[in-house]
C-alpha cells in the first residue's frame, strides 16, 4: 500500500445529513459495528473480508461550521494496521466527504500493540512501541 490514499466527494446535502450517513454502518461496509467512543471497537465485513480495530475519534459537524471527523484504525488478519480518517465539511450549499487512509505505523517504524477486543477479534490500541529499524 502507498503511504497514503486520499479520496473526496462533494454532495449536495447538509453536513448533518452526510455525517449521519457516514457513521451509518451500512455506508462503511456490508456489515459493520462502530463504538463511536474513543478507544471503542470497530469491525467491518466486506464480502469474505473482515477488518477489526478501534475508534480514535468521532466528532460530528458543529453549528459553528466545524467539520465532522471520524478516525479509526483497522487491520485485516496479520496485516499492519492502517488509519482511516473521514472528514465532513459543509461549504455553502454542498458538503465534502474526504477519506484518507494511511499506514503511519509502517512509515514511522512503529507497531500497534494488540489489545483484547470486545468482539473477539484482534484490535490495535493507541499504545505504540518503537521497533528496531
Record the pTM: 0.75
Q: What element of type H or E holds 127?
A: strand 122-130
Average pLDDT estimate for 18-27 = 84
Summarised one tens digit per residue, pLDDT across range 71-99 is: 999 988 878 888 999 999 998 889 999 99
The answer to whether the CB of 123 falls within 8 A of the CB of 115 is yes
The count of domains in the chain is 1
Torsion of the alpha carbons at 21, 25, 27 and 30, rounded to the nearest 10: -160
Is residue 113 pLDDT above 80, yes or no?
Answer: no
C-alpha cell at 1: 500500500
Closest to 1 measured CA to CA, from 128, 130, 115, 102: 102
Residue 106: pLDDT band (50, 70, 90) is low
Is residue 9 pLDDT above 90, yes or no?
Answer: yes
**Partners of 74 in the beta sheet?**
53, 82
Is residue 30 pLDDT above 50, yes or no?
Answer: yes
- Window from 46-50, 64-68, 126-130 with minimum mean pLDDT: 126-130
CATH code of residue 87: 3.30.530.20
Indicate the average pLDDT of the chain. 80
C-alpha cell at 79: 496485516
Round to whole Å and give the CA distance between 112 and 56.
Answer: 13
Parent domain of 97: 4-130
Residue 104: pLDDT band (50, 70, 90) is low
Radius of gyration of the chain (CA): 15
* pLDDT score for 67: 95
Amino acid at each position: 500500500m502507498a503511504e497514503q490514499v486520499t479520496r473526496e466527494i462533494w454532495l449536495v446535502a447538509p453536513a448533518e445529513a452526510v455525517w449521519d450517513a457516514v457513521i451509518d454502518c451500512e455506508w462503511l461496509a456490508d456489515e459493520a459495528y462502530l463504538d463511536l467512543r474513543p478507544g471503542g471497537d470497530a469491525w467491518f465485513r466486506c464480502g469474505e473480508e473482515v477488518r477489526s480495530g478501534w475508534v480514535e475519534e468521532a466528532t460530528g459537524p458543529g453549528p459553528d461550521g466545524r467539520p465532522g471527523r471520524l478516525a479509526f484504525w483497522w487491520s485485516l488478519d496479520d496485516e499492519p494496521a492502517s488509519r482511516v480518517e473521514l472528514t465532513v465539511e459543509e461549504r455553502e450549499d454542498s458538503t465534502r466527504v474526504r477519506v484518507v487512509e494511511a499506514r503511519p505505523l509502517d512509515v514511522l517504524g512503529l507497531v500497534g500493540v494488540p489489545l483484547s477486543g470486545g468482539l473477539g477479534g484482534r484490535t490495535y490500541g493507541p499504545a505504540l512501541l518503537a521497533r528496531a529499524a
